[in-house]
Amino acid sequence: MPRVSIQRLGSYDPAAVDAALKALLEPLGGMEAFLDAGQPLLLKPNFLAPRATDGAVSTHPEIIRASARQARSAGASQVLVTDSPGVGTAAQCAARLGLASGDLLQIVDAGEGEWVPSSETGAWRLHLSSLMRRHPLLNLAKAKTHGQMTLTAAVKNTFGAVPGLEKAQWHYRMGRDPHRFARLLVHIHEAVRPRLNLLDGVIGMEGNGPSSGTPRKLGILMAGTNAHALDWVLARIFSLNPMNIPTIRAAREMGLLPEEKDIEIVGPRVAELRPHPEWKLAPEVSVARIAGPGWLTPVMEKLLAASPRIDPKLCTLCLECVRQCAAGAMSPADDTIGIDRKKCISCFCCQEMCPAGAITVRSGPLARLLRLGR
The enclosing domain of 311 has a CATH number of 3.30.70.20
In this structure, the answer to whether residues 267 and 215 fall within a common structural domain is: yes
Which phi and psi angles does 366 have, rounded to 5°? -70, -40
Tell me how crowded residue 182 is: count the other CB atoms within 10 A of its CB.
Answer: 25
For residues 262 and 175, membership in a common domain is answered with yes
Q: How many CB atoms lie within 10 A of CB 292?
A: 10
Query: In the listed set 210, 239, 273, which residue is the last one of a domain according to the structure?
Result: 273
280, part of any domain: no
Q: Of the candidates 241, 273, 305, which is a domain's last residue?
A: 273
Domain count, the chain: 2
Residue 342 lies in a domain: yes
pLDDT the model gives residue 150: 92
Q: Which residues form the domain of 333?
A: 296-372
* Whether residues 15 and 122 fall in one domain: yes
- Please check whether residue 76 lies inside any domain of the structure: yes
Q: Is residue 290 part of a domain?
A: no
Asked if residue 238 and residue 303 are part of one domain, the reply reads no
- The answer to whether residues 307 and 164 belong to one domain is no
Residue 35: CB atoms within 10 A of its CB come to: 25
Rounded to an integer, what distance in angstroms lies between the CA atom of residue 134 and that of residue 40? 10
Q: Which residues contact 374 (CB under 8 A, 6 or more apart)?
A: none
Task: Using the predicted structure, report yes or no on whether residue 49 has a pLDDT greater than 70.
Answer: yes
Q: Is residue 171 part of a domain?
A: yes
CATH number for position 264: 3.40.50.11440
Residues 267 and 214 in one domain: yes
- Residue 181 neighbours by CB under 8 Å, 6+ apart: 148, 149, 170, 171, 174, 246, 347
Helix %, strand %, coil % of the chain (to 5): 35, 20, 45
The residue ranking higher by pLDDT, 98 or 168, is 98
What pLDDT, on the 0 to 100 scale, is given for residue 288? 42
- CB-facing half-sphere around the CA of 251: CA atoms within 13 A: 26
pLDDT of residue 168: 80
What is the structure's pLDDT at 341?
85
pLDDT digits (tens, 9 = 90+) for 329-346: 999 988 889 999 888 888
Is the pLDDT at 285 greater than 50, yes or no? no
Task: Check whether residue 150 and residue 256 sit in a common domain.
Answer: yes
278 occurs within a structural domain: no
| Residue that finishes a domain, picked among 239, 273, 307 | 273
pLDDT at site 65: 99
**Is there a domain that residue 288 lies in?**
no
Mapped onto helix, strand or coil, the DSSP state of residue 202 is strand
Which one, of 223, 224, 226, lies nearest residue 257 by Cα?
Answer: 226
What are 130-162's pLDDT values in tens digits?
A: 889 889 999 999 999 998 899 999 999 999 999
Residues 262 and 308 in one domain: no
Predicted confidence (pLDDT) per residue in 191-230, tens digit: 999 999 999 999 999 999 999 999 999 999 999 999 999 9
One domain for residues 85 and 190: yes
In a domain, 291, yes or no: no
Q: Does residue 325 share a domain with residue 258?
A: no
Q: Output 63 or 323, whichever has higher pLDDT.
A: 63
Facing residues of 125 across strands?
Answer: 117
Judged against a pLDDT cut of 80, whether residue 374 lies above it is answered with no
pLDDT attached to residue 346: 80
| Higher-scoring residue by pLDDT: 191, 231 | 231
Do both 258 and 303 map to the same domain? no
Tell me the percentage of the chain whose pLDDT exceeds 90: 64
Listed range (69-83, 197-211, 350-364) with the worst mean pLDDT = 350-364
Rounded to the nearest integer, the mean pLDDT of the chain is 88
Within a 10 A sphere around the Cβ of 53, how many other Cβ atoms?
Answer: 17
Q: Is the pLDDT of residue 69 over 50?
A: yes
User: For residues 273 and 288, which has the higher predicted lDDT (pLDDT)?
Assistant: 273
In sequence order, which residues have a C-beta less than 8 Å from that of residue 312 and are 6 or more positions away?
335, 336, 358
Domain co-membership, 24 together with 146:
yes
Residue-level pLDDT at 289: 41
